[in-house]
Amino acid sequence: MAFIRNAWYLACWSSDIQPGAMFKRRLLDEPIVFYRKTDGTPAALLDRCPHRFVPLSMGVLKQDNIRCQYHGLTFDCTGKCVDNPHGDGKIPAAAKVRSYPLAESQGMVWIWMGTGEADRAKLPNYDALQQREGFSTSHGYLNIEANYELMGENLLDLSHITYLHDGFLGSPEQRGADQTLEEKDGTLICKRWMPNISVPRIFDMVYRRDGKPVDMWTHMTWIPPSNFLLDTGVHEVGGQREDRGWYYGVHILTPETEKTTHYHFAAVMPPGTQLDEAQASEFSRLRRMAFEDQDKPFLDAQQAAIGDQDFWAMKPVLLTVDAGPVRMRRQIERLIKEEAL
Ligand code: FES
Ligand SMILES: [Fe+2]
């Protein structure tokens, strides 16, 4: 399967790569090993020794280098072989592995999977995750057994919360909500506006609305290839956005294989929210439950049903709520085609 390659993908949360340990993950169907150099900066190499192809992650970290544990070749963080313990010690020209440019910021490690220049200016904007006075952040991870575009559709078309997350993130009056789609600098913003609805449980719990009706919004932004940022909240019917009552939902997908996806999510609560520790952990627990116990089984089953068939060849029914997902799919196709030129 073709992926967009000249783009930054989220490799993992910073906390996944601990000093002195190797962390392996398959991204865009390539096995990759991550580690931290002695100065703390992360490094990434193709997780395959060029000698007999065993994973380097089964080897040993030697300061800034990895020594393959099978026959002892040692590679530095650029993938160059720096020690061959055999014969006269000459390093064969082919003894090198691919290394990947990384960028670490705001608790995330981004990886450049393409051959084009890894331009930091192209990092997706997640200023929402910046450590700021009074903001609180929590994050999590799930492995989804479905293609990242299927998962992307789930995020861009939030009409499903009325059904799949009913009474929890959704409520029945959200049916047929106004939905608009904007395109800005290559990003898509899908906005839903749901006035005068019964308050979904998660908002009632976190923002103590006493079960009173609310106006609710969800603004989901898609940044290619597979990065999402949700601005969502509630306020009193006919009211205005307040200091509390909303949060940012960060949803970042990275293809693992054609049919599996790394799903990174985070929530950023503004200073006005003022949750105590128990409420904050209940909020995180409920969100994770929605993704893990409600979204994931549907996504996994959807992929199983599609199998190896081509999505468009299956002639999916198109509804008004599909405007965003279809536009996203078309843009991904276009970007892949442009890269192939
Ligand atoms: S397989 Fe790595 S040195 Fe032989
Ligand atoms: Fe969902």
Full set of structural domains in the chain with CATH: 8-122 (2.102.10.10), 132-340 (3.90.380.10)
Show the beta-strand stretches assigned E in the chain. 8-13, 23-27, 30-36, 42-46, 60-62, 65-67, 74-75, 81-83, 102-105, 108-112, 136-144, 178-184, 187-197, 214-223, 227-236, 246-257, 260-269
pLDDT of 48-106, one tens digit each? 999 999 999 999 999 999 999 999 999 999 999 999 999 999 999 999 999 999 999 99
Rounded CA gap, 340 and 196, in Å?
48
Nearest to 305 by CA among 147, 185, 179: 147
CB 60, CB 54: distance < 8 Å: no
Nearest to 122 by CA among 48, 208, 224: 224
Is it the case that residue 131 has pLDDT exceeding 80?
Answer: no
| Shortest-distance atom of ligand 1 to CA 49 | 2
User: Which ligand sits closest to the CA of 165?
Assistant: 2
Q: Is the CB of 71 under 6 A from ligand 1?
A: yes
Token duo for residue 161:
């919360």
User: Which ligand sits closest to the CA of 161?
Assistant: 2
pLDDT of 150-189, one tens digit each? 999 999 999 999 999 987 888 888 888 989 999 998 999 9
Q: How far is the CA of 205 from the centre of ligand 2 (A)?
A: 18
Q: How far is CA 113 from CA 152, 179, 253, in A?
A: 19, 34, 14
Question: Out of 1-15, 76-90, 195-209, which region has the weakest mean confidence (pLDDT)?
Answer: 195-209
By alpha-carbon position, which residue is closest to atom 1 of ligand 1?
52
Q: How far is the CA of 295 from the centre of ligand 2 (A)?
A: 5
Q: Which residues pair with residue 154 across a beta bridge? A: none
| Shortest-distance atom of ligand 1 to CA 52 | 1
Q: Is the CB of 299 under 6 A from ligand 1?
A: no
pLDDT of 235-250, one tens digit each? 999 999 988 899 999 9
- Average pLDDT on 222-227 reads 97
Q: How far is the CA of 189 from the centre of ligand 1 (A)?
A: 48
Check residue 318 and give its pLDDT: 97
CB 280, CB 268: distance < 8 Å: no
Q: Is the CB of 58 under 6 A from ligand 1?
A: no
Give the chain's mean pLDDT.
Answer: 94
Token duo for residue 36:
């931290």
pLDDT of 269-297, one tens digit each? 988 888 888 888 888 999 999 999 999 99
Check residue 8 and give its pLDDT: 97
Out of 45, 49, 65, give the residue to mutate to test ligand 1, the one with the largest number of ligand atoms within 8 Å of its CB: 49
| Shortest-distance atom of ligand 1 to CA 59 | 2
Site of tokens 């670490």: 104
pLDDT band at 111 (very low <50, low <70, confident <90, very high): very high
